[in-house]
């Protein structure tokens, strides 16, 4: 069974033949491996030169990027041994470690670098249908145990188990016989595709199609317009939109000529991004980016250098690369005096490993603006001597050059924070500063050895500061927080306070509305409690409810908290900035997240989600023959009054095409702050349910009607073609 075609060039041809390269894990671990691209153009196979038959494989689909040269810590550590033109790094999606390789020659390295990049591009440009064909093709190869390109009934039965399908023998045999057109007792290429299509017949979508189709065979232009108006709630330009959908998703040229849509086209549309639950216009950049910085939620990472826990974890520049590529716009460094006058970064007083400050700054310069053009805030926790602070300032200035913001934008004393638009391409330092912004612009300098100190730094109240480092701080001066009253009278717009999660919660409980107002005027940062040595996270939603902009999470730790962070920042072009609702930006409005009914313009909404079906849910248990019992939970995360969750019943032994038709109802009091999380779990009556997949999005980005939800893994990476099919209705509560 052949996969979708790709033009084989010289690079791919040499990858098919295979190459011996060194796999590098450290300065001392360098072993030769034989690498080869499989015929499917999707799988890379490799084995040790010595070992018997043991081999490993990985999919090109799991590779996020290829880095050339010494662009990982491991390869930098052996830079003196192998030239950069022979070295490259494969970076995997999610939290899987990199693969560092050294080829025998620069030419061989280039073949693999260019070849893999071509394969990644090809994958990214595939349509839904090709992806599905690719997926079917992968399964076929996995199940065709004797590699004869045919599948007998036993192989098909084993395949169904692998695919999470518990089908009785009789039904499976009936489908097998119907698909075996050549009556050979085995399924070849096209017969297997037919078998798969019969197996995945979408009765649920067919039901909707037939409800709107006049003749049960096709949707006329009028039928499609009726469907778009009545179900998908499209109002403007419906005719144009319907024609665009036919043009884009209808596979039959005859139907296109008739301006009609067949069932295949209808299913293609519903499986596409336009049929997805996320509104595509809000996935792109759509917000006003010219408001002051404090008017945005900012995607923020805590102790960015850690890849694991806070006590013995590995410190790495890789943490910065991963966070920045995920659109994170505020990263953190803990700086301490290092050897030979070079400042180092690590979690102080613990056994975490150490990296050089200058290496972090270099990575920041290289990766800050790859995912987003909007500003990056470098939050410095400074434990260095004045001498090494000077070195830090030197590295920042020399390595970052013009990217580092060192003075107010127009050279005048500013009266408010600039906007993300004003600060595009700039890196802002957040740290202690000698005196105020006004003083430094007037040439007046306070005592150069004294600086305010934040809670998480030294316990001594004053710390010696170097003027050079202080001068690098412009719009984000770290100050100690005393009270909202004090801030209202004395605070400057460029001052920022940091709160531990417990302090922030205390302020939310005691003075929620004051906190919201404080955050309309200036920036606040909230970070995890020092007790979270396992790098677990707190719920960021509580902090967003009061308008805290910089809610710093451990990006390396998967779970509901990072799902919420990914969900909030999945909108607005993944740029790392999301505009806060109007009532949290206006200083003359009063919003208390604990009592949202009291605000002006309070309009609660009702959300109804009918969970119809699931498609090809991944297996949780690798155990032979185990099949999941899926249930779907819909969770609302928002102000306390909106926090809610409801579940469907579970379906016995069917991860392949479970059907629920269960309706879940919610009331949403503050839609502008709510996030909706869809979770699939494998029900277990004796122990905790296993996680299967999830998808989180802002309530305001939901498209109503019949929609597919494309599920993500625990790591936030996509797991095609796993999805849920739902019907969504949002109505005003009168």
* Residue 433 neighbours by CB under 8 Å, 6+ apart: 440, 451, 465, 470, 473, 477, 478
| pLDDT score at 125 | 78
Examine residue 155 and state whether it is found in any structural domain, yes or no. Answer: yes
| pLDDT at residue 530, as a whole number | 87
User: CATH number of the domain that 236 lies in?
Assistant: 1.10.238.10
The pLDDT tens digits for 187-202 are: 887 788 888 878 778 9
Of 5 and 109, the one with more pLDDT: 109
DSSP for 476-536, please give it: EEE-----HHHHHHH--TTEEEEEEHHHHHHHHHHHHHHHHHHHHHS-EEEE--TT-TT--
pLDDT digits (tens, 9 = 90+) for 330-370: 999 999 999 999 999 988 877 778 899 999 999 999 999 99
Distance CA 683, CA 628 (A): 8
**Which amino acids are annotated as binding site for substrate, given as ranges?**
23-50, 430, 432, 498, 525
153-162 residue pLDDT tens: 888 888 887 7
Q: What is the pLDDT of residue 436?
A: 87
Which residues form the catalytic set? 302, 347
Residue 619 included in any domain: yes
State which of 581, 612, 632 marks the end of a domain.
581
Residue entry with tokens 């020092």: 530
Whether 642 and 527 share a structural domain = no
> pLDDT tens across 555-568, in order?
999 999 999 999 99
Q: Are residues 182 and 193 in the same domain?
A: yes
452 band by pLDDT with thresholds 50, 70 and 90: very low
State whether 102 and 135 are in the same domain: no
CATH code at position 403: 3.20.20.190
Distances (CA, A) of 125 to 118, 122, 131, 252, 359: 11, 5, 10, 21, 35
C-alpha pair distances (Å), 153 with each of 134, 668, 678, 712: 22, 51, 36, 32
Last residue of a domain, one of 551, 581, 611: 581
Quick one: pLDDT at residue 140? 79
- Residue count of the chain, please give it: 734
Q: What is the pLDDT of residue 217?
A: 92
Annotated binding-site residues for Ca(2+) read 303, 332, 334, 381, 627, 629, 653, 682-684
Strand, coil or helix: what is 278? strand
The verdict on 469 and 353 lying in the same domain is yes
The mean pLDDT of the chain is: 90
Instruction: Please check whether residues 180 and 109 belong to one and the same domain.
Output: no
CATH number of the domain within which 609 lies? 2.60.40.150
Lowest model confidence (mean pLDDT) among 94-108, 121-135, 647-661: 121-135
* Residues 545, 615 within the same domain: no
Count of CB atoms situated within 10 Å of the CB of 206? 15
pLDDT at residue 719 in the model: 84
The reported pLDDT for the residue numbered 246 is: 96
Query: Do residues 664 and 634 lie in contact, with contact meaning Cβ atoms separated by under 8 Å?
Result: yes
Bridge partners (DSSP) of residue 723 are 615, 710
As a whole number of angstroms, the distance between CA 362 and CA 359 comes to: 5
- Residue 637 belongs to a domain: yes
Higher pLDDT, 601 or 86: 86
**Residue 462 confidence (pLDDT):** 55
105 vs 100: CA distance, rounded Å: 15
322 touches 73 (CB < 8 A):
no
Question: In the predicted model, what is the mean pLDDT of residues 5-22?
Answer: 86
**Range(s) of the domain holding residue 247:** 203-275
CA-CA distances (angstroms) from residue 122 to 6, 108, 367?
8, 21, 24
Are residue 308 and residue 226 in the same domain, yes or no?
A: no
Does position 631 have pLDDT exceeding 60, yes or no?
yes
Degrees to nearest 5, angle at CA 96 with 91 and 100: 45
The pLDDT, as a whole number, for residue 720 is 78
Phi-psi region of 712 (alpha: psi -120 to 50; beta: other; left: phi over 0): beta
Any idea which residue has 């949002």 for tokens? 730
Q: Is residue 450 part of a domain?
A: no
Q: Is 154 inside any structural domain?
A: yes
CB-based contact 178:170 (threshold 8 Å)? no
Chosen domain end from 243, 275, 307: 275
Would you say residue 31 lies in a domain? yes
Among positive and negative, which fits the CA dihedral 511, 516, 522, 527?
A: positive
* For range 480-494, the mean pLDDT: 94
Give the tens place of pLDDT for each residue, 170-228.
Answer: 778 888 999 999 999 998 877 888 888 787 789 999 999 999 999 999 999 999 999 99
Residue 238 lies in a domain: yes
Is residue 448 in some structural domain?
no
Residues 622 and 719 in one domain: yes
**Does 452 or 373 have the greater pLDDT score?**
373
Going by pLDDT thresholds of 50, 70 and 90, the confidence category of residue 711 is: very high
DSSP H or E stretch at residue 177: helix 169-179
Residues 171 and 243 in one domain: no
DSSP string, 534-569: T-----HHHHHTTT-SEEEE-TTS-SHHHHHHHHHT
Predicted local confidence at residue 155, as pLDDT: 87
Rg value, the chain, Cα? 28
Domain total of the chain? 5
Are both 361 and 469 inside the same structural domain? Answer: yes
Q: Give me the CATH number covering residue 76.
A: 2.30.29.30
| pLDDT, position 453 | 46
What's residue 5's pLDDT?
Answer: 55
Q: What is the mean pLDDT of residues 607-630?
A: 86
pLDDT reported for residue 599: 86
108 and 140 co-located in one domain: no
* pLDDT at 457 > cutoff 80: no
Question: Do 151 and 298 belong to one domain?
Answer: no
């Amino acid at each position: 069974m052949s996969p979708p075609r790709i033009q084989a060039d010289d690079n791919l041809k040499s990858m098919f033949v295979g190459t011996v390269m060194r796999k590098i894990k450290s300065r001392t671990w360098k072993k030769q491996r034989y690498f080869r691209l499989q015929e499917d153009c999707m799988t890379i196979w490799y084995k040790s030169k010595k070992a018997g038959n043991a081999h490993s494989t990985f999919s090109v689909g799991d590779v996020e990027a290829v880095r050339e040269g010494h662009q990982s810590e491991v390869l930098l550590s052996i830079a003196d041994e192998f030239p950069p033109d022979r070295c490259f790094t494969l970076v995997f999606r999610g939290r899987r470690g990199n693969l560092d390789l050294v080829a025998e020659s620069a030419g061989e390295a280039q073949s693999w670098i260019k070849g893999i990049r071509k394969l990644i591009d090809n994958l990214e440009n595939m349509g839904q249908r090709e992806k599905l064909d690719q997926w079917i093709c992968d399964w076929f190869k996995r199940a065709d145990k004797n590699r004869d390109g045919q599948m007998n009934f036993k192989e098909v039965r084993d395949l169904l188990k692998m695919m999470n399908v518990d089908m009785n023998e009789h039904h499976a045999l009936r489908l097998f016989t119907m698909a075996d057109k050549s009556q050979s007792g085995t399924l070849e290429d096209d017969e297997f595709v037919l078998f798969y299509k019969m197996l995945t017949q979408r009765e649920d979508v067919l039901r909707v199609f037939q409800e709107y189709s006049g003749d049960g065979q096709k949707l006329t232009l009028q039928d499609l317009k009726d469907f778009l108006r009545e179900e998908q709630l499209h109002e403007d330009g419906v005719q144009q939109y319907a024609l665009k959908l036919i043009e884009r998703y209808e596979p039959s040229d005859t139907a296109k000529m008739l301006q009609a849509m067949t069932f295949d086209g209808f299913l293609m549309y519903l499986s596409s991004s336009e049929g997805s639950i996320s509104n595509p216009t809000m996935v792109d950049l759509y917000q006003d980016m010219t408001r002051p910085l404090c008017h945005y939620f900012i995607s923020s990472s805590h102790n960015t250098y850690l890849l694991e826990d806070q006590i013995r974890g590995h410190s790495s520049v890789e943490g910065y690369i991963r966070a920045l590529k995920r659109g994170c716009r505020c990263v953190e460094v803990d700086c301490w005096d290092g050897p030979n006058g070079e400042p180092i970064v690590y979690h102080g007083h613990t056994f975490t490993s150490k990296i050089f400050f200058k290496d972090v700054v270099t990575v920041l310069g290289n990766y800050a603006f790859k995912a987003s053009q909007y500003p990056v805030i470098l939050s410095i926790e400074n434990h260095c001597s004045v001498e090494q602070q000077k070195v830090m300032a030197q590295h920042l200035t020399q390595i970052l050059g013009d990217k580092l913001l060192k003075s107010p934008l127009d050279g005048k004393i500013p009266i408010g924070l600039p906007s993300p638009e004003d600060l595009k391409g700039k890196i802002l330092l957040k740290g202690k500063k000698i005196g105020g912004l006004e003083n430094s612009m007037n040439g007046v300098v306070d005592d150069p050895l004294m600086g305010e100190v934040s809670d998480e730094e030294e316990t001594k109240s004053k710390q010696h500061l170097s003027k050079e480092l202080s001068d690098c701080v412009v719009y984000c001066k770290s100050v100690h927080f005393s009270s909202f009253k004090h801030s209202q009278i004395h605070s400057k717009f460029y001052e920022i306070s940091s709160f531990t999660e417990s302090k922030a919660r205390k302020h939310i409980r005691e003075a929620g509305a004051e906190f919201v107002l404080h955050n309309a005027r200036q920036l606040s940062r909230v970070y995890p409690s020092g007790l979270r040595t396992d790098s677990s996270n707190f719920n960021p939603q509580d902090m967003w409810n009061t308008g805290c902009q910089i809610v710093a999470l451990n990006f390396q730790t998967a779970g509901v908290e990072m799902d919420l962070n990914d969900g909030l920042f999945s909108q607005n072009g993944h740029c790392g900035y999301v505009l806060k609702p109007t009532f949290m930006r206006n200083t003359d409005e009063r919003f208390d997240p604990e009592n949202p009914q009291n605000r002006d313009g309070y309009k609660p909404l009702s959300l109804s989600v009918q969970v119809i079906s699931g498609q090809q849910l991944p297996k949780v248990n690798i155990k032979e023959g185990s099949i999941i019992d899926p249930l779907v939970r819909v969770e609302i995360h928002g102000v306390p009054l909106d926090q809610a969750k409801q579940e469907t019943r579970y379906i016995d032994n069917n991860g392949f095409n479970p059907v629920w038709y269960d309706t879940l109802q919610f009331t949403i009091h503050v839609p502008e702050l709510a996030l909706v999380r869809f979770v699939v779990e494998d029900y277990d009556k004796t122990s905790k349910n296993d996680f299967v997949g999830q998808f989180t999005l802002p309530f305001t980005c939901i498209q109503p009607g019949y929609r597919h939800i494309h599920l993500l893994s625990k790591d936030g990476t996509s797991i095609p073609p796993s999805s849920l099919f739902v019907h969504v209705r949002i109505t005003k509560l009168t």
